[in-house]
Amino acid sequence: MHKTIPNISDNPLSKIKLRNAFYPIIIGLGVVGYLFYREFNPKAFDVITFTWWSAFWIFIAFCFMGLRDFGYMLRLRVLTENMLSFRQSFRVIMLWEFSSAILPSAFGGTTVATIYVNKEGLSVGKSSAVVMITSFLDELYFVLVFPILILMVTPQALFGLGITSGLSSFAQDILIFCIVGFLLKLVWVILLAYGLFVNPRGLKWLIMIIFKLPILRRWKHGANRAGTDIISSSKEFKKKSFLFWLKAFGTTFLSWSSRYFVVNALLLAFFSVNHHLLIFVRQLAMSVIQLVSPTPGGSGFSEYIFTRYLSEFIPVDAALLGSVVIAMALLWRMISYYPYLLIGAIIFPRWIKSKFVGKV
């Protein structure tokens, strides 16, 4: 007897179409093309020369991306207590990143991540708990690391306040985004910590009260699901040991730190660069801004922010800076973003076929 397999159209994954992978590519390349059209100077090729030194640091950039994904895989193994193999963990991470890459940044891949984990063999409760904890750890990394690094580089250097009149207006916008984004992340971490480790039912009750407000009522079913997930997560993780949490946060630290070092490596491939810590911290600030992007995976928006916020670290003549920084932004996205579209487009159809269409 064959087991009935639910139709893919009955779950949130039906919203993910392979053709959607073309949209962020078109948007991203379109923005880069427009910026090139405005700024392009043929002499830029005189300062961007490809050497063995360049190849080495580009390889290091790819290694940082590999470490990022390896850290995610290790974290999944830790959170599932090795119930997922490395192969399964790799598959989940690639599908998760693919979803994030083709969905608007505010929506992301987290909404379908529970299905990915569940279909690899974990119960729905366990899967939702794992996804909820990953959200908590990701935001905890930012909430803990960002303030410490701001003190190390100084707020004036981070936000560029007072450096030039042209940057100041943009930098002050960055400052506002970071303050609001940090406060939202801090509130979310505090609420999750309270719900996961102190009073999960009380937090669900509070969430449901908030989402009874007229302006939020349309999302009350999603809020109810989130509250239920928090209760399930609490049961799963409330009694874990200190070593468990140390491993979970350690792998989170590895993943996010590796991600932010990619730009440092790319800049070293072509230029003599200082202020590496400041470059690193500015990328944390950029990640807050990318959350408000309406485009899939922040495509186009991310390239633009890169050209505005990191251009001062590229030591070239002002007449060439526009062309050079646009080329660097494109290279950055080619290493840190587009590969997930390609890998996901290969894995996703096969995974859907095996999990929803195949016979058991």
User: What's the CA gap between 212 and 51, in Å, rounded?
Assistant: 60
Tokens of 11: 């779950």
Mean pLDDT score of the chain: 79
Q: Which residue has the higher pLDDT, 162 or 209?
A: 209
Alpha-carbon gap, residue 219 to 202, rounded angstroms: 19
Looking at the predicted structure, is the pLDDT value of residue 65 above 70?
yes
Residue 236 has a pLDDT of 73
d(CA 298, CA 174): 16
DSSP state, 45?
G
- pTM here? 0.82
Residue 59: inside a domain: yes
Answer whether residue 1 is part of any domain: no
d(CA 274, CA 268): 9
Q: What is the number of domains present in the chain?
A: 1
Distance CA 60, CA 22 (A): 28
For 322, the domain range is: 8-357
Determine the 3-state secondary structure of 108 from DSSP. Answer: coil
What are the tens digits of pLDDT across the range 210-265? Answer: 777 676 677 677 667 777 777 777 777 888 888 999 999 999 999 999 999 999 99
Tell me the per-residue pLDDT of 132-189, one tens digit each, with 9 for 90 and over. 889 899 999 999 999 999 889 888 888 765 444 444 577 777 788 888 888 988 988 9
Q: Does any domain span residue 2?
A: no
140 phi, psi to nearest 5 deg: -65, -40
Give per-residue pLDDT as tens, 259-298. 999 999 999 998 888 889 999 999 898 888 777 666 666 6
3-state secondary structure of 296: strand
- Alpha-carbon distance of 82 to 356, in angstroms, equals 24
Is the pLDDT assigned to residue 8 strictly greater than 50? no
Torsion over CA: 348, 350, 352, 354 (sign): negative
CA distances from 179 to 33, 158, 222, 232 (A): 32, 13, 27, 32
Whether residue 208 contacts residue 224, with contact meaning beta carbons closer than 8 Å, is answered with yes
Instruction: Specify the 3-state DSSP secondary structure of 246.
Output: helix
To the nearest whole percent, how much of the chain has pLDDT over 70? 76
Q: What is the pLDDT of residue 159?
A: 77
Q: Please state, as a whole number, how many other Cβ atoms lie within 10 Å of the Cβ of residue 340.
A: 24
Average pLDDT over residues 47-71: 91
The whole-number pLDDT of residue 164 equals: 45
Would the pLDDT of 29 be above 80?
A: no
Check pLDDT > 80 for residue 58. Answer: yes
pLDDT at 131 over 50: yes
- Residue 82 to residues 78, 86, 124, 167, 252, Cα–Cα distance (Å): 6, 9, 17, 48, 16
Q: Which long-range contacts (CB under 8 A, 24 or more apart) does 165-171 make?
A: 167/312, 170/308, 170/309
Q: Which two tokens stand for residue 143?
A: 């909430």
Crossing angle for the helix pair 318-336 and 242-270, to the nearest 10 degrees: 140
pLDDT greater than 80 at residue 206: no
